[in-house]
Structure 1
Amino acid sequence: MDWLDYMNASLNYIEENLSIKIDYERIAAKALCSSYNFQRMFSFIANVTLAVYIRRRCMTAAALELSKSKVSVLDTAIKYGYDSPVSFARAFTSIHGITPQEARVPGAKLKLYPRISFQISIKGAEVMKYRIEKMDGFCLAGISREISINNGENFKLIPKMWEELNSDGTCDRIVNLNGRKEEAMYGVCYDFHFEEERFRYMIAIKPEGQMPEGYEVLEVPEFTWVKFECIGAAGIQETFQRMNTEWFMTSGYEHEEGPEIEFYPCGDVDAPDYVCEVWVPIRPVKK
């Protein structure tokens, strides 16, 4: 079996054990990786978080049962892992726009979220430039916000955060923390909570000396990093996408539990030939 077979085996396991309380560790084990790595990889490949996918599949199956049988709402709620009909009804309504009771009415409009499958897609052979480096621990200082990954909100919220902090002068103040007019900057994704669909994002520099009040400090441990070259700051998101859907699939490495870093060296970030980087902590896949 190759990675494609393993990933599809995990999807089969989900369908055979459909419940919002399904064990994520067992799902990941089918794909021969950790829960942390599986959830990260799944969200990039499927363009939806694992938690949302499972919830949608549960509500799709529940709607079919309620519309075709006389099974009680309570029994259906319990079957799909809900502790009460109230919490089940809330989740059901958020997906279908109607209550479980209304789903029984002939002609009720319901939504189908079909199961997904992973397949090989042949794309253009566009090169990815990267290097692997081991680095001592270091610290970063700046301003952070909580970012939602629900429905791809992170792809909108992070650029908006940069825009806001640039326009109000905050980025300039962060750059000047070391007393220089120019400074390499970092965008840092950390404190991931996949099941809650959130993480923190920090705009930061490497500080020298003691930081003034009002700035957060993030300690980054020693890691081995894979560092991808990215031409143009606008290409950062595509680099993350390709890293997860192409590089990790064949590299023999997996994501170490740690921050993901965007590195922006001094220069004109709007220039078409501006070179920045994506850094991700890695470790060899255990066989």
Structure 2
Amino acid sequence: MLEHLNRALEHIEEHLDRQIDVAELARIAVTSEYHFRRMFSALAGIPLSEYIRRRRLTVAGAEVLAGERTLLDVAVRYGYTSGEAFARAFRAVHGIGPGEARRTGAALCSQPRMSFRLVVEGISSMQYRVVEKDEFRIVGRKARVPLVHQGVNPAIAEFVKGLGQETVQRITALSDGEPGGILAVSDDLDPSRAEGTELDYWHGVVSSADVPEDLEALTVPAGTWAVFESSGPFPQALQFLWRDVFTQWFPSNPYRSRPGPEILRVRVLHEGRADAELWIPVERESDR
């Protein structure tokens, strides 16, 4: 998997001055476009579109300083339709406009070329199983919240706090399927997975019961799920579980992620430890 991803990175480098088709990158990586975006974001720490933008402006910056082309020629070469658009993008990355950078020979920022390799660090423990599951429903309350990559998500914390104990107890009582109990469900995420983009956060349960008027339901189609179990210090083990799935498990197994909600169940134990179970929708990589 990593070998194919690195070939896709080479393709990016060879086409920085041309249009880059994400579908073609996914074909080179021998996976789906959806999974390619997910894997790249997890491994690189930034969205694919942001990496391409930074690399283009890094190379464009070198050409600006070289002075062999006009600024408009450099702008057009790297996909900008006007000098003004190029100047805005250039300043956002380098902190200075291209004209001033050329006049003063300013030091510019640089996005290094990336390559991926697998370094297995592991967490205290992580086990997995693959489950085929029929269509089911999530019943509970939802909110549209911004994506936060690390630490507590204030919007989610405020939303859950605002539900009240009585509502949470009523939702919990509706649980009659797996995974059982109260769940944190993330759905309808932006493909880029960029910090600050929005998602639907559900605080609910798997239930086949009639949906009370003050609650909502999310129907989840039948499909395959990879279920990961983790036990360790809270919240560290929980925070790194998702990262380890995408940076360690997917590159080593014949599966790729597919569109669908991600489901997390957490049980806080004593002495600052917790058990976590993460359900990720997957499909087999047919081309491996």
Report TM bin, short chain.
0.7 to 0.9
Q: 1:211 to 1:67 in 2, by over 3 A?
A: farther
- 1:147–1:154 contact (8 Å) kept in structure 2: no
Q: Give, in angstroms, the shift of residue 70 of structure 1.
A: 3.8
- 2:257–2:283 contact (8 Å) kept in structure 1: yes
Q: Give, in angstroms, the shift of residue 272 of structure 1.
A: 3.8
Find the residue that maps to 2:42 and give its secondary structure: helix
Name the CA distance, whole Å, in 1 between partners of 2:251 and 2:198.
24
Q: Give, in angstroms, the shift of residue 176 of structure 1.
A: 3.4
Q: Give, in angstroms, the shift of residue 25 of structure 1.
A: 0.9
- Residue from 131, 150, 153 that aligns with 1:155: 150
Structure with higher RCO (Cα < 8 A, 6+ apart): 2
Equivalent residue, structure 2, for 1:194: 191
Name the CA distance, whole Å, in 2 between partners of 1:128 and 1:97.
43
Equivalent residue, structure 1, for 2:142: 143
- 1:19–1:54 contact (8 Å) kept in structure 2: no
Q: Give, in angstroms, the shift of residue 187 of structure 1.
A: 1.7
Name the CA distance, whole Å, in 2 between partners of 1:173 and 1:84.
57
Find the residue that maps to 1:155 and give its secondary structure: coil
- 2:190–2:199 contact (8 Å) kept in structure 1: no
Equivalent residue, structure 2, for 1:169: 162
Find the residue that maps to 1:145 and give its secondary structure: strand
- 1:165–1:171 contact (8 Å) kept in structure 2: no
Q: TM-score, normalised by structure 1?
A: 0.85
Q: Give, in angstroms, the shift of residue 273 of structure 1.
A: 4.5
- 1:188–1:262 contact (8 Å) kept in structure 2: yes
Name the CA distance, whole Å, in 1 between partners of 2:264 and 2:134.
17
Q: Give, in angstroms, the shift of residue 251 of structure 1.
A: 1.4
- 1:236–1:278 contact (8 Å) kept in structure 2: no
Segments of 5+ residues of structure 2 without an aligned counterpart are none
Instruction: Report the aligned-residue RMSD.
Output: 2.7
Q: 1:112 to 1:186 in 2, by over 3 A?
A: same
Name the CA distance, whole Å, in 2 between partners of 1:32 and 1:224.
20
Deviation per CA, 1:59-104, whole angstroms, max 9, x where unpaired? 1011110111242232222222223222222211111111121121
- Residue from 61, 64, 67 that aligns with 2:65: 67
Deviation per CA, 1:84-142, whole angstroms, max 9, x where unpaired? 22222221111111112112123313101111111232536864211111112222231
Matches within 5 A, 1:127-142: 127-140=125-138, 141-142=140-141
Q: TM-score, normalised by structure 2?
A: 0.85
Segments of 5+ residues of structure 1 without an aligned counterpart are none
Matches within 5 A, 1:1-287: 3-19=1-17, 21-123=19-121, 127-140=125-138, 141-148=140-147, 153-156=148-151, 159-166=153-160, 168-170=161-163, 172=165, 174-178=167-171, 180=173, 184-195=181-192, 197=194, 198-206=197-205, 208-213=209-214, 216-231=216-231, 234=235, 235-264=237-266, 268=268, 272-287=272-287
Q: 1:184 to 1:124 in 2, by over 3 A?
A: closer
- 2:120–2:248 contact (8 Å) kept in structure 1: no
Q: Give, in angstroms, the shift of residue 169 of structure 1.
A: 3.3
Name the CA distance, whole Å, in 2 between partners of 1:155 and 1:19.
34
Amino acid at match of 1:155: Q
Determine what percentage of the aligned residue pairs are the same residue: 32
Name the CA distance, whole Å, in 1 between partners of 2:134 and 2:203.
18
Name the CA distance, whole Å, in 1 between partners of 2:188 and 2:19.
23
Q: 1:272 to 1:132 in 2, by over 3 A?
A: farther
Q: Structure 1 residues 48-57 or 15-24, which shifts more?
A: 15-24
Q: 1:211 to 1:87 in 2, by over 3 A?
A: farther
Q: Give, in angstroms, the shift of residue 262 of structure 1.
A: 0.9
- 1:142–1:174 contact (8 Å) kept in structure 2: no
Q: Give, in angstroms, the shift of residue 199 of structure 1.
A: 4.2
Name the CA distance, whole Å, in 1 between partners of 2:181 and 2:193.
32
Q: Give, in angstroms, the shift of residue 173 of structure 1.
A: 5.3
Name the CA distance, whole Å, in 2 between partners of 1:86 and 1:146.
33
Q: Give, in angstroms, the shift of residue 17 of structure 1.
A: 0.3
- 1:260–1:280 contact (8 Å) kept in structure 2: yes
